[in-house]
Each structure stands twice: as structure tokens, then as C-alpha cells.
Amino acid sequence: MIELAENRYGKSRIRLMKVSRTPKGNELREWTVQVLLIGDFDSAHYEGDNSKILPTDTMKNTVYSVARKSSAIAMEDYAKELVDFLLARNPKVTSVSVAIEGTMWKRLSIDGKPHPTSFMRGSGELQTTAVSRGRTDGFIIHSGFTNLVVMKTADSGFEGYIQDELTTLKPTSDRLFCTAVTAQWSYTVQALAFDAMRAAMREAMLKTFANHKSKSVQETLYEMGKSALERVAEVDEINITMPNKHCLLVDLSRFGQDNPNEIFVPTDEPAGHIEARVRRKL
């Protein structure tokens, strides 16, 4: 006997650019949205009966329509509105999940002053959130960021590790430390100043990265997570991934030149992969 265990469906990679126009200038947000529905869709799988199926193209249009009516600034608040809208309109749906990635845009500075209507694309960093709710449940909110590429050119080393006959890496007290930080956390309260808290978590982590005298990626990761939790009391734990984007010192001795830690070749593959979950003690 074969049966359907579970299923969900939706629309992904819905691109949304929203301009909020005010007398003092405009605000720009670029979001990529995914919507997933769980519900009574068994007949579509077993019988090809689409009478309970909301077309994914309709989900795409819903993203734009809700955005037009929404006054939400934070992606978390917009996602909550979208979840509630879809639950209210579709009785066969038991839960909705919305995931959003936010692209970084920065206001242009012209003659030393922020320009009210012009922007430039920021780094490859993406702000993230995943919001879900069942009909009788509260919101589950996971937020964070991904691909925040940072580098230290001093105060980083790696020594005292295991060495055997297969070890070729040389210990160093002075190396480049480059990584692409991904962080995710959950909120214990559902109505918060999400943008301000994300900014505070991010700022605390970056400050620690810059000032910490690193003995390893692991040590710096822990200190970054610790500082973020100390900064924002509403978050109990944070998951951090920090791949080591290696920068290898180039041997210039064959050209009769020295290399006092100045010339490197960056390489992405293979990469060290370091991750951990940092939490408050229970």
C-alpha cells in the first residue's frame, strides 16, 4: 500500500521592489519572497482534482497586492501580514510559511549629504526571515542574514593544532581572516522592532569581529554570538556559520623577493566550514 505522507506547495523567487515615497525622500526595499502552503490537497495528488488548489500565479499576485496595502517596514511584519491574508482567504489551508531575502541598498551620498531619491546596490549580503503560522498557532519567526563577507588583516592567527604526517599547514600568529557570515535566530516575542534588533545583532557581531584578537575561527564565532545575545535580550540563541575563505601567502622567494604578509592569493575552494549554536544557559 502506497500513500501520500505529506505535501506542500507554493511559489518561490517572487521578486518585489517597493518604493515608499515621503516628502523627505524615498525608502527602497528589494525582497525575494517564497510562499508555501500546507493543507488538504490530497485529492490533487491522488485524483488530479484541482478544486482545492490555489494557483501559484495567484500567490505571486497576492505578494504584490498585500505589499501595496502594507505599511510594514520590516520584512518580518510584512511576512506576518501575508501569512494572515492567505489563511483568511483559503479555508483548505492549515498553515502558511513565508520566507524572504532582502537585498542591501544604500542611499547615495552626494557632496557629503544623503540623496533623498538615489541609491546604490550594497554588498552580496542578504537579510533573511522565515515566518509561519497554523490556524490555531502563534507566529514562528526566524530571522538573520547570510553572506556577510568580512576580513581581518591583522590580529588573527592559528597555532597549537594537531599535526601529523599528513599536516602541511604551517602555524601562524599573523594571517588574513576572511569569512562569509550566516546567522539565524528566533524571536521569543512576536511584536518587536525587527529592523532595529537585526541591526543591533549585526552591529554587535561586526564590532566583535573587528576588535577580537582571534586564535581561531571557532573562538571568534563564539565571541560574536555571545556579543549578539548580550546586546539583544529578546533572542535566546543564535546559529552562526563562518566558512574560512582562505587567502594563501604567495611564495616569492623563487623570484628573489620577500613577502612580509603582503601578497596573497584568495581561494574559495576547498574551504574550512565552522558552525555553532550559541545560547543562553538554561
pLDDT in tens, 46-60: 999 999 999 999 999
Residue 3 lies in a domain: no
Same domain, 104 and 153: no
Provide the number of structural domains found in the chain.
2
**What does residue 178 show for φ and ψ, rounded to 5 degrees?**
-125, 140
Mean pLDDT over the full length of the chain: 95
CATH number of residue 39's parent domain:
3.10.270.10
Q: How many of the other CB atoms lie within 10 Å of CB of 231?
A: 17
Residue 138 lies in a domain: no
226 given a catalytic annotation: no
- Say which of 18, 32, 52, 56 is annotated catalytic: 56
Same domain, 153 and 264: yes
| pLDDT of 269 | 82
Q: Which domain holds residue 174?
A: 147-279
| pLDDT of 62 | 97
56 given a catalytic annotation: yes
246 given a catalytic annotation: yes
Residue 139 lies in a domain: no
Same domain, 191 and 269: yes
Nearest residue to 53 via CA among 43, 61, 63: 43
CA 181, CA 244: separation in Å to the nearest integer? Answer: 10
Is this model's pTM higher than 0.75 or not? yes
Average pLDDT for residues 68-97, to the nearest whole number? Answer: 96
Average pLDDT for residues 252-259, to the nearest whole number? Answer: 95
Same domain, 172 and 272: yes
Q: At which of 83, 101, 130 does a domain end?
A: 130
**Is the bond preceding 260 in cis, omega lying within 30 degrees of 0?**
no
CA 78, CA 71: separation in Å to the nearest integer? Answer: 8
- Say which of 11, 60, 152, 212 is annotated catalytic: 11
pLDDT in tens, 95-145: 999 999 999 999 999 999 999 999 999 889 999 999 999 999 999 999 999
Same domain, 49 and 155: no
pLDDT in tens, 164-196: 999 998 899 999 999 999 999 999 788 889 999
